[in-house]
């Protein structure tokens, strides 16, 4: 086993988060992650993955599950070392300084801020079946009407309002919703298998065989069909680590257990979906167009509610009704979770002192309320220029995965910087390098598979972030920490390398539309990502902060600075 336990290690309960309430128990934290994973992804992911990979979408889900278990293992060690809320944004600060933590924090925050709007869009998209004035089809994509935009903003406001009541009330509500979500998805799997499961859909040549679109379809589905997006919910184990009563036990269980549990469920759903799709729909134009042949309603019904459409075709009208209800509950629960998570990330950046101190203000209920208001305002922006669920998911996927990539680097750096620091959950010394390398390589591959058409928007957002950082450091000179650029410049090499590989690659295949060159095929792209992974690890570890500076940063954090007080001057 690659994990070692240190029973005598202190739990660091709550870490430095003095005002946040430590009221997430084992089930509460695990169900927060499970509730995040089973959101809108399960409502659309099976169809989108099948259209990209055919029956080989089963493999896509398995690959995504393995990748996120590996990434989760790196954060399991860090999350028990430093159980601080907003950890994805804070850990880079401990090992590499302010430039790195701002860079990762900005990408993390942008990605998280977009998730709640994604879940709102999922609610609205399914609701359009009985409230057609919410969305309309333009250019083959579902887009909000003006009335739909108003409803979407109101839903975002509801998500934020629930979070204002505090952790304990939210955790209790979430536990109930997660039991409902698990029950519904298991019922769907059972009904699809019982009423209409044709195994020939998965392997028979007349239906295209198992992998009609080859390896490119399999790996594209991981990045762009909502598979990677679905697994992002595992992060709650680290983002809320400062608010759980037993980090040593609850953080690793949540980070790894939630991915395994939901991975098994999602694979079962994908198999059931593949077997239940009407044979005529597959034969018409193949799996890539199967959504437009679900019923006489055409592509509109498939776009707005694929699982409910199949349930109706099978005669399970009652199940279609349940699915339409769950299309509000499942994404709604995940949206509520991510509204709170987004607030924790900007709270963490303020605690790092490379964002305005006001974002760290905590209410009497233990909620970073200023950050929560900001999450609402920025979340509403995503309703304006973006089309439906699928397109926004692609942007969230590459930005979120990129933010996770710094975790393996901090893990490896901390083995040198603080070798004797208590590690309640410890990866074995023989495996930590393998797991760290695979976690970063997985990150780079998912970003590459997302494709240049989406990635260029991510890198433009990163440039915007650096502009904002420059403005903030110019205005708040006396309250910002040292930039530590010499310890974080390698990050620019990482970003530039990913941009170059994506531009040279052949994802998406329609390179004339996306503007990428298509020079690197699947194999060469994977090798290029492998080389970039090795280079980034080497540069990052060479540039990591000295132990004395790490101890100083952690000492400032553990000194118990008041979250709503201005940062100390240096």
Q: Residue 196 belongs to a domain with what CATH number?
A: 1.20.1740.10
Least confident range of 155-159, 284-288, 329-333, 418-422: 329-333
CA distance 141 to 135: 10
Q: Does residue 336 fall inside a structural domain?
A: yes
What backbone torsions phi and psi does residue 138 show, to the nearest 5 degrees?
A: -135, 120
Stretch 535-540: mean pLDDT: 97
Most confident region among 420-434, 465-479, 545-559 by mean pLDDT: 420-434
Length of the chain: 570
Residue pointed to by tokens 């110019």: 474
Can you list the alpha helix ranges (DSSP code H) found in 451-489?
Answer: 452-475
Residue 369 is predicted with a pLDDT of: 86
The yes-or-no verdict on residue 501 having pLDDT over 90 is yes
**Model confidence pLDDT, tens digit, residues 19-48:** 555 556 677 788 888 887 887 778 788 998
What helix, strand, coil percent values describe the chain, rounded to 5?
70, 5, 25
Q: Does residue 241 fall inside a structural domain?
A: yes
Q: Are 275 and 198 in contact (CB under 8 A)?
A: yes
CA distance 549 to 555: 10
Whether pTM > 0.95 for this model: the answer is no
For the chain, the domain total comes to: 1
Q: Does residue 352 fall inside a structural domain?
A: no
Q: Does residue 570 fall inside a structural domain?
A: no
Q: Does residue 116 fall inside a structural domain?
A: yes
CA distance 105 to 92: 9
Q: Does residue 566 fall inside a structural domain?
A: no
Residue 169 is predicted with a pLDDT of: 66
Domain assignment of residue 73, given as a range: 3-347+357-558
State the DSSP code for 39: S
Q: Apex CA 275: angle with CA 269 and CA 281, to 5°?
A: 115
Q: Does residue 54 fall inside a structural domain?
A: yes
CA distance 245 to 241: 9
CA distance 135 to 129: 9
pLDDT band of residue 483 (cuts 50, 70, 90) is: confident
Residue 125 is predicted with a pLDDT of: 77
Q: Are 343 and 331 in contact (CB under 8 A)?
A: no
CA distance 305 to 319: 12
Q: Which residues pair with 370 in a beta bridge?
A: none
Q: Does residue 171 fall inside a structural domain?
A: yes
Task: Name which of 157, 141, 140 is nearest 149 in CA terms.
Answer: 157
The yes-or-no verdict on residue 254 having pLDDT over 50 is yes
**Model confidence pLDDT, tens digit, residues 426-463:** 998 889 999 999 999 999 999 998 889 889 989 999 99
Residue 431 is predicted with a pLDDT of: 92
The yes-or-no verdict on residue 511 having pLDDT over 60 is no
The yes-or-no verdict on residue 10 having pLDDT over 60 is no
């Amino acid at each position: 086993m690659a994990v070692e336990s240190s029973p005598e290690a202190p739990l660091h309960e709550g870490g430095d988060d003095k005002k946040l309430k430590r009221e997430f128990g084992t089930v509460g934290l695990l169900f927060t992650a499970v509730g995040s994973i089973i959101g809108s992804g399960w409502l659309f992911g099976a169809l989108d993955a099948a259209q990209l990979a055919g029956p080989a979408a089963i493999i896509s889900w398995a690959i995504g599950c393995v990748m996120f278990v590996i990434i989760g293992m790196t954060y399991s060690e860090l999350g028990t070392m430093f159980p601080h809320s907003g950890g994805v944004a804070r850990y880079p600060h401990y090992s590499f300084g302010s430039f790195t933590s701002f860079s990762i924090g900005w990408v993390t925050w942008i990605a998280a801020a977009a998730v709640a709007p994604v879940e709102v869009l999922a609610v609205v998209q399914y609701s359009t079946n009985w409230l057609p004035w919410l969305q309309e089809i333009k250019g083959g994509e579902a887009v909000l009407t003006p009335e739909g935009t108003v409803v979407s903003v109101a839903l975002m406001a509801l998500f934020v309002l629930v979070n204002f009541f505090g952790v304990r009330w939210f955790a209790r509500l979430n536990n109930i919703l997660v039991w409902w979500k698990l029950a519904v998805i298991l019922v769907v799997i059972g009904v699809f298998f019982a009423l209409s499961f044709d195994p020939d859909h998965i392997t028979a040549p007349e239906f295209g065989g198992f992998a009609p679109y080859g390896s490119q379809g399999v790996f594209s589905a991981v990045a762009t069909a909502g598979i990677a997006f679905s697994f992002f919910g595992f992060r709650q184990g680290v983002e809320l680590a400062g608010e759980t009563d037993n980090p040593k036990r609850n953080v690793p269980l949540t980070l790894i257990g939630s991915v395994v549990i939901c991975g098994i469920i999602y694979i079962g759903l994908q198999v059931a979906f593949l077997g239940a799709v009407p044979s005529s729909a597959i034969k018409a134009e193949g799996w890539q167009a199967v959504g437009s042949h679900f019923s006489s309603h055409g592509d509109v019904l498939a776009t707005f509610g694929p699982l409910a459409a199949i349930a109706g075709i099978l005669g399970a009208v009652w199940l279609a009704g349940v699915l339409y209800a769950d299309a509000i509950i499942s994404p709604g629960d995940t949206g509520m979770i991510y509204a709170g998570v987004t607030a924790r990330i900007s709270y963490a950046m303020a605690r790092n002192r490379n964002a305005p101190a006001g974002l760290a203000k905590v209410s009497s209920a233990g909620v970073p309320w200023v950050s929560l208001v900001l999450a609402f305002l920025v979340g509403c922006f995503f309703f304006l220029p973006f089309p439906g669920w699928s397109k926004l998911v692609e942007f969230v996927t590459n930005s979120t995965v990129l933010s996770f990539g710094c975790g393996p680097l901090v893990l490896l750096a901390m083995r040198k910087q603080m070798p004797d620091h208590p590690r309640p959950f410890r990866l074995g010394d023989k495996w930590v390098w393998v797991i760290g390398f695979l976690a970063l390589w997985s990150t780079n591959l998912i970003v590459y598979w997302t494709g240049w058409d989406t990635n260029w928007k991510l890198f433009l957002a990163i440039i915007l972030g650096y502009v904002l950082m420059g403005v903030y450091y110019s205005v708040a000179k006396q309250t910002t920490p040292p930039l530590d650029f010499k310890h974080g410049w390698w990050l620019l090499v990482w970003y530039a390398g990913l941009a170059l590989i994506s531009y040279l690659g052949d994802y998406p295949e329609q390179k004339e539309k996306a503007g990428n060159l298509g020079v690197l095929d699947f194999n060469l792209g994977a090798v290029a990502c492998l080389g970039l992974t090795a280079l980034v690890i080497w540069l990052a570890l060479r540039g990591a902060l000295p132990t004395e500076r790490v101890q100083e940063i952690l000492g400032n954090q553990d000194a118990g600075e008041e979250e709503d007080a201005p940062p100390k001057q240096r």
